Amino acid sequence: MKPIKSAVFVKSSSKVKECPEPDRPEYAFIGRSNVGKSSLINLLTNRGKLAKVSSKPGKTKLINHFLIDDDWFLVDLPGYGWAKVSKTEQSKWKSMIRDYFETRENLACVFVLIDSRIDPQKNDLEFIQYLGEIGVPIGLIFTKTDKEGHNKIQSGIAKFKRALKTQWEELPVSFATSTVTGAGKDEVINFIRSVNLDIKNQ
């Protein structure tokens, strides 16, 4: 696998119409607050501080575009499930995210990040269901797999998939990752490169 060579911050946008020209495939990363999104983005891009890591939920508030290898966009989106954010702020974020998913024409895949250590969460399942209903390609990324024993992590991932199967005939592609051990990094990047190749060959 070829590692990512360049990752350049392009811009932050508060509205979809402010986003960069949709002239390259785009891969969005989203999940509940504190799921490890920024750490994963930094791992994938080999940049320690490309995405800002924070212990406070709700740090990402805009649509953040990064240009990868001058070939595709990586998009860091605001999380959901905010605990300490005003209703007005939540509503504004939800509207922005919904607009992004439903109108961004170059969106190749949305990676939904899920904490592998915890039981299936209603807001994760509902969010994935929403993406499925609007026909957006989805990938599931289970994070923090180094935090528990292997069997417990595998059991947690299986439990989440069983919960999804009540509404999905065929489950989205999934990856198990750790920003500590680097597990899953190559698999996610290889998947993105294969989708890019398919797009170019269309």
Res 83: pLDDT? 56
| 96 in Cβ contact with 14 (< 8 Å) | yes
| 7 in Cβ contact with 76 (< 8 Å) | no
Res 178: pLDDT? 96
**Residues 147, 117: Cα–Cα separation, whole Å:** 8
pLDDT per position in the chain (202 positions), as tens?
678 999 999 999 999 999 999 999 999 999 998 899 989 999 999 887 777 654 444 456 789 999 999 999 999 998 887 556 677 877 888 889 999 999 999 999 999 999 999 999 999 999 999 999 999 999 999 999 998 899 999 999 999 999 999 999 999 999 999 999 999 999 999 999 999 999 999 8
Res 60: pLDDT? 61
Q: Find, among 151, 152, 149, 142, the residue nearest to 178 by Cα.
A: 142
Q: Find, among 94, 101, 56, the residue nearest to 78 by Cα.
A: 94
Res 161: pLDDT? 96
Tokens matching residue 149: 């024993």
Res 1: pLDDT? 64
Considering the entire predicted model, what is its pTM? Answer: 0.93
Q: Which CATH number fits domain 7-201: 3.30.200.20, 3.40.710.10, 3.40.50.1220, 3.40.50.300?
A: 3.40.50.300
**Residues 74, 68: Cα–Cα separation, whole Å:** 7
Res 22: pLDDT? 97
